[in-house]
Structure 1
Amino acid sequence: MATPTPSTNTPSKHVHAFCSPAPRSVPPTGNLNMMSYDSPAVLNMLNDASSGMGGVGMGGVGMGITMSSLGMSNLGLSASTLGRADEAERNRRLRMILEMIEKKPGRVSEEGLLALCTRMGILYEKHLDEAGMWSLVIGDTAICDVKFKTDDIERVDLQTALDESMPELYFGATGSEMLVRSLKPLPGQSKINATLERFAESLEKLLTLDKLGSPQNGGVSCWDAIAGVYTSLKKLFEHEKKTDLANRAPDERYRTYKAEREVMCKKSGRPRLNGGSCLGLSLEYWMDRRHLIPTNAPSPSDKGKEKMDMDSHESPAYPEDSVPESNGIYSLTIECESSPSTLYTPIRISNEWISDRIEKPADANDANASIDNILLNTPSIDWLDPKPTYLEASAQPDDAMNLDSATGRLPNIRFVAKFNPPLVVPFAVYMQLYQIVGIEPRSEDFRTTTFVGLALRPGEVDPGMTGTTGESTHEIRSSRSVLVLDSEGKAGKRKHDMSLYVPKMEYSRTLESLPFSHPKQLVEILPMLRQYAHTTSLLRECFYEKAEKPVSSVDPTGHAMPPKPPSSADGELPPLQVDVNLSYTPPAPRLILHIPHPSSNFSTKTDSIGPPLTSVSALIATLLSPTDTLFLNPLSVTLDIHANAELVVAEQNLIAVPPLQSSSIATATAGDVDMDAAEEIEAKIKRLGRALDVCGDMGIWGEWLRREVGRYDQEA
């Protein structure tokens, strides 16, 4: 560790001159006005320029200062007074620590569960006829039975009001499965470290919905409102999945899973009740590496899968639930929150958010029709606008003067979509999303934060806060090992020294929640959300500081690779310097990858492959080398991430594009261009972008590009 440089701004360098030579356990003797400068309160006073105690902020305590000149008698301070102040400060900090500990849910055990219920105000009772069984009474709309066996979770049974009003959804059964998962240890976590945190979040959500739907608030069921949104979104999802299946071969493997993921990532999203780790309704809109399906995933027939979804009380099988680290999912959790009905459109209880025909033909006279549907003559979604839901008359005479629960009033509740995980978007996109849902953003949202600070380096000072935004190119570095496949298919590891350059810092915001009044607003913003979800995934995979993890096991071809590939005879392959440029400015994020050419001897900034250039003579000898492969330009690919996360290769230097024979494009004729060759080149260029879409890792993608260049050279 480097030795600290002496600084005149360090106040503690002169403190020893005032400290008593006696041990700290021995109380000071003599004058009672003398204070021990080991006290934090005194040091704080010395550091405070406004206290008049001199000189600390400008190079330590001033020379020649005596206790009398400090004016202790004028301040009216004594050792006992300072002692009481110091004791009060300790008590205050202790209370803060205890409050912080109390907010943390305990570990998974009977004692921890009961303590959690007490803190949250949930009534509980023990079953007399069954040992280890506890019933948690969550308001008036939900009961949760938890069965313990020596502090291990044996069974969880959830029953809600939705199971009575809409039993065909099997909300309690699927919710019970989700709650059991939330009480089990996470992958790689020991049982003793399993906490009640995820279970507590679900209980908090149940309590919130019960409170919003209580008779005091008008008695409007939030459960029924959310279930109505789910019914309409599910109807739309099944229609789009059926359309996609019709375009696939009947014998295609995993065709059902592929169709569902296509609708989830390119269409209206995939609605799920109690899916993954989310209790309630979630609309999944993006999945990392959606083309990768585990080889051991079940392959049900279409009819069997559909029957399991519609008729079974168990959750449908999704392969991505078993490997969340490989298939990261972005979703919107649809909930309810308190909001004045006079300021925002309240919730409506209806299953008719969309018509039975789902789609309607393009109509230029339709004011709600999209301009893209009119120009392309494609059908659009036939959304409906349900009637408002009014409050019923209160049965309690004490509520006669409560205007918020009077007959004919609208409920003071609105829908809200919570981002899971939170999503970082440019400030212009942030404002556009709020305009789509028809509300104004909060005033505290106007901060000088950036994508780098929010998404890649959340623990550091945001570059936007330093006041140097736009004055210089910001750089982030990281090192990681990636999987490498040579031309013969042999696996190895290589270290990538990666640098991310951001020439222009775009101010950004983190989306955590977004109110909405109609599910069509959510479907409308999904293409935009996918742009930045995919961008975030690609960059966080390479530049986010996280714990060391195994080498990625995904190849651009979509085949699973061994997690620990064998290295070469001499150890790991020589490292590479990989540079990435980021432009986060709307309308589309742009990534530019630079990676050394496979035939170049300059593969890193330190020349790790070729001989080290330790002298000027060695450098001159290298420059005069007759080999023409030393200074090949690095491979460069420019990608634009468009709506629905479509990767478009804007520029590249891997594939040679022959120029038109005519000197002007305007005068070129069909005979000037070989259309078959042009289509072949275009297909190769599109294949470059698809490879990144499949593997989802810029490091692996760069190695694949190097291998493809070698293949192109051999074909030439």
Structure 2
Amino acid sequence: MATPTPSTNTPQKHLPAFSSPAPRSVPGTGTIPVNFDSPAALGIAFEGGVGMGISMSGMGMSQLGLSASAMGRADEEERRRRLESVIATLKSRPGRVGEEGIIELCKKEGLEVVREPQGSNGVMLTILIGSETLCEIPVRNGEIESVKLELASDRDAIGFGPSGSKILLNSLRPLPAMTKINLTLERFSHNLDKLLRMDKLSAPENGGVSCYTAIFGVYTSLRKLFEHEKKMALAVMEANTPYASQKAEREVLCKKSGRPRINAGSLGLSLEYWMDRRHLISKKAKPHQPPDKGKDKMDIDSEPTDPNPSDQNSDPETNKIYSLTIECEASQSSMYPPIRLSDSWISDAIEKAPDVADSDINNILLNRSNIDWLDPPPTYLKSPQESGHDAMNLDNDPGRLPNIRFIAKFNPPLVVPLSVADTLNRSLALEELPNVQPTTFVGLALRPGDPDPGLEGIVGASTQELRSQKTVLVIDRNGNEAQRVHTNSLYIPKPEWSRTIEALPFHHPRQLVEILPTLRQYAFLTSVLQDSFAGPSIPDIKATETSSKDGVVEREGEGVGRESVVQLDISLSYTPPNPRLTLHIPRPDFSKSSFTSSALLDSLLGNNPPKPPIHVAIDVCPNADLLVADGNVEKDGEIDVDGKRIVRALEVCGDLGVWGEWVRREVGGGTPIDLHAATSVKLGSK
């Protein structure tokens, strides 16, 4: 941001004395124009101003940074302090993308940059990031042409350099809907900091243990496990199953050991453990084929086989991914087990034989994989002669362990009950949770911008209720698509104290794989509730009810015309071990006889009493396996106790509104909903 140039013809202006302590606003604008003739005024603009004015509404003098001296003429010390504050703010921000900006950023980070001219209008910038990493950036006519990242410990099977180069190049290019003039080095700086942090931990003065080699070893073992489980998933599929590779990968991602990836969206190793709506696979350039007669509407995956199956281009809007980013951080080896350099965290056989003495009997009974984990030997620091470090530094004496540990960072951070967070900590041999605060799931995951009910002290006084409105695609009685408004209410009778997990240290990849089932529980629960209740509520439409039938209220309102509204009530029991969602929704009746006068008379006389509203209670079990715990959903005149189709429908669409309408059609016998189409329209309308 360029510093405004003071006007040479405008005399110095001083703020007048106010008769009231509260600042006044210019009528019609709500701002007071600020002249930039003094560093004090310029400092005010940087602290709270917008454009060429400062919003004064509801602000006091102290909030604007105005002291008593500033109300008249600020003394030299005050003016110098403000000017230094402005300069420090400007220096802390990364510059703009370009040759000069990159060189200045590297100097600020203490990195060596070699500049070599390339022809008349080109230059090659070579950035030396410690002793392991090299980054080359050719610039021609002020434009970044490409990025080449090289890593000394890289391997062909890892491919860290080529994939990392793409990430760095993308961070130097504008995002969609962003103009080049607003492009800064902020994203590039973030990636550069990550590379620099890894190199500093691996430096000879810290023992010379390569963090990249340690992480690549973990990736090698996790990838071996992933490929084995993917092969097993493919083996149980029928021949010619369409999109078999994507389905097998997603099955391992969401139900097994997760999917490890290098440089998937951000630099480093990530273990993906959950994907929203994994059954919805994006079909690109597929020919339209009408469904066969009698084909189950729930079978949404029966499409032509992809000639080149790949799951790297899943739709981020539909298939949001939850992952753990595996990095290294400084930690005393005497307090927590340090990193180890090894590719052998798991045996070549992958699974133990059933007759092995130490096989887990629970895995055998539940037909689960019994992974044959290995325990690599410790990695010790090199001798002073080998590493070249100061022999007087006792922290790095040979025979000592490195002061570095593995850490898994949650992307995105995950909200779990406090008791679950404590269990996860104890499973990783961590101390008790520090700084425990009375925060709730609502305050952390659904309405983070609002005051947390727990911190406000209003939890327990009454049942918490959140409201929202969403538009859902439905099928009317004639089989035509229509849109319906859902008025959603979320009730939480007994709030559970909760906590946001952002990172967890670990010393063996086995520990991460073992906690994935629990993480998936709360990733799924958070996702479906955020879709319906996160963010500000949609204002109620002022309307007049005109009629009500089939559990749908028809209403008219100014500027909205005529619309149908359904009240969807959801209760949440967040208490471990299995949180429960209970849906209450009006029961429809699509039969023609229900609208006859005789049917109405029977209902009034009690011969044919109206049925109660639909309710379905779903338990979210480990691995996000869904179980119908209770309900009155009927199928062919009988209560559907098994509920397999009910949970399958929720797994497919991952949307409570679409799922609720599907349940109503199942009960009422109306035209079945195409969950794939309904979910796509729902997501596209956001």
TM-score tier (shorter): 0.7 to 0.9
**1:345 partner letter:** P
1:519 is matched with 509
Q: Distance in 2 between matches of 1:180 and 1:150?
A: 17
1:541 to 1:303, Cα distance in 2 relative to 1, 3 A: closer
Q: 1:240 Cα deviation (Å)?
A: 0.3
- Structure 1 residue 598 corresponds to structure 2 residue 588: yes
Q: Distance in 1 between matches of 2:577 and 2:78?
A: 52
1:234 to 1:208, Cα distance in 2 relative to 1, 3 A: same
**1:380 partner letter:** N
Q: Distance in 2 between matches of 1:279 and 1:547?
A: 36
- Structure 1 residue 234 corresponds to structure 2 residue 223: yes
**2:630 partner letter:** E
- Structure 1 residue 222 corresponds to structure 2 residue 201: no
Q: 1:377 Cα deviation (Å)?
A: 6.5
1:511 to 1:89, Cα distance in 2 relative to 1, 3 A: farther
**Higher radius of gyration, 1 or 2:** 1
1:398 to 1:389, Cα distance in 2 relative to 1, 3 A: closer
3-state SS, counterpart of residue 145 of structure 2: strand
2:266 is matched with 278
Structure number having the greater strand percentage: 2
- Could you give the per-residue CA deviations for residues 52-80 of structure 1, whole angstroms, max 9, x where no partner exists? xxxxxxxxxxxxxxxxxxxxxxxxxx976
1:288 is matched with 276
Q: Distance in 1 between matches of 2:206 and 2:311?
A: 38
State the TM-score, normalizing by the size of structure 1: 0.72
- Could you give the per-residue CA deviations for residues 202-227 of structure 1, whole angstroms, max 9, x where no partner exists? 21111011000000001000010000
Q: 1:297 Cα deviation (Å)?
A: 7.4
1:18 to 1:370, Cα distance in 2 relative to 1, 3 A: closer
State the TM-score, normalizing by the size of structure 2: 0.75
In the alignment of these two chains, the number of paired residues is 576
Q: Distance in 1 between matches of 2:671 and 2:186?
A: 56
1:422 is matched with 413
1:587 to 1:193, Cα distance in 2 relative to 1, 3 A: farther
3-state SS, counterpart of residue 399 of structure 1: coil
Alignment of 1:234-633 (within 5 A): 234-275=223-264, 277-296=265-284, 318-320=312-314, 323-362=315-354, 365-366=357-358, 369-376=359-366, 379-395=369-385, 399-444=390-435, 446-486=436-476, 489-545=479-535, 573-599=563-589, 632-633=611-612
1:644 is matched with 623
- Could you give the per-residue CA deviations for residues 385-429 of structure 1, whole angstroms, max 9, x where no partner exists? 000000001237771110111111100000000001100111001
8 Å CA contact 2:246, 2:311 repeated in 1: no
Moved more, 412-421 or 699-708: 699-708
Pairing partner for 1:168 from 147, 153, 157: 157
1:711 is matched with 669
**1:424 partner letter:** V
How many percent identity over aligned positions? Answer: 51
1:424 to 1:390, Cα distance in 2 relative to 1, 3 A: same
1:572 to 1:532, Cα distance in 2 relative to 1, 3 A: farther
Q: Distance in 2 between matches of 1:139 and 1:654?
A: 64
8 Å CA contact 1:362, 1:377 repeated in 2: no
Q: 1:84 Cα deviation (Å)?
A: 7.9
8 Å CA contact 2:635, 2:666 repeated in 1: no
3-state SS, counterpart of residue 155 of structure 1: coil
User: RMSD of the alignment, in Å?
Assistant: 3.9
Pairing partner for 1:113 from 102, 105, 118: 102
Q: 1:686 Cα deviation (Å)?
A: 1.2
Q: 1:264 Cα deviation (Å)?
A: 0.4
Q: 1:194 Cα deviation (Å)?
A: 4.2
Q: Distance in 1 between matches of 2:660 and 2:453?
A: 28
8 Å CA contact 2:214, 2:340 repeated in 1: yes
**2:260 partner letter:** P
8 Å CA contact 1:493, 1:572 repeated in 2: no
- Could you give the per-residue CA deviations for residues 18-54 of structure 1, whole angstroms, max 9, x where no partner exists? 9999x999xxxxxxxxxxxxx99x9779xxxxxxxxx
**1:508 partner letter:** S
3-state SS, counterpart of residue 118 of structure 2: coil
Q: Distance in 2 between matches of 1:182 and 1:636?
A: 48
**2:668 partner letter:** G
**1:296 partner letter:** K
8 Å CA contact 2:467, 2:490 repeated in 1: yes
Pairing partner for 1:634 from 591, 613, 617: 613
Q: Could you list the runs of 5+ residues in structure 2 that have no partner in the other structure? A: 1-17, 27-31, 34-55, 287-302, 539-559, 673-686
Q: 1:370 Cα deviation (Å)?
A: 3.8
Q: 1:513 Cα deviation (Å)?
A: 0.5
Q: 1:598 Cα deviation (Å)?
A: 2.5
3-state SS, counterpart of residue 168 of structure 1: coil
1:624 to 1:646, Cα distance in 2 relative to 1, 3 A: closer
**2:131 partner letter:** D
Alignment of 1:85-164 (within 5 A): 99=88, 102-129=91-118, 131-149=122-140, 152-163=143-154
Q: Distance in 2 between matches of 1:342 and 1:124?
A: 38
Q: 1:495 Cα deviation (Å)?
A: 1.8
1:700 is matched with 658
Moved more, 588-597 or 94-103: 94-103
Q: 1:371 Cα deviation (Å)?
A: 4.9
1:82 to 1:348, Cα distance in 2 relative to 1, 3 A: same
Q: Distance in 2 between matches of 1:96 and 1:699?
A: 51
Q: Distance in 1 between matches of 2:579 and 2:376?
A: 37
Q: 1:512 Cα deviation (Å)?
A: 0.6
8 Å CA contact 2:414, 2:502 repeated in 1: yes
Q: Distance in 1 between matches of 2:304 and 2:139?
A: 35
Q: 1:99 Cα deviation (Å)?
A: 4.6
Q: Distance in 2 between matches of 1:87 and 1:637?
A: 71
**1:250 partner letter:** A
1:67 is matched with none
Q: Distance in 2 between matches of 1:19 and 1:588?
A: 53
Q: Distance in 2 between matches of 1:703 and 1:486?
A: 11
8 Å CA contact 2:125, 2:136 repeated in 1: yes
Q: Could you list the runs of 5+ residues in structure 1 that have no partner in the other structure? A: 1-14, 26-38, 46-77, 306-315, 549-569, 601-609, 611-620, 659-676
Q: Distance in 2 between matches of 1:214 and 1:582?
A: 50
1:309 is matched with none
Structure number having the greater helix percentage: 1
1:318 to 1:490, Cα distance in 2 relative to 1, 3 A: farther
Alignment of 1:197-208 (within 5 A): 197-208=186-197
Q: 1:597 Cα deviation (Å)?
A: 2.1
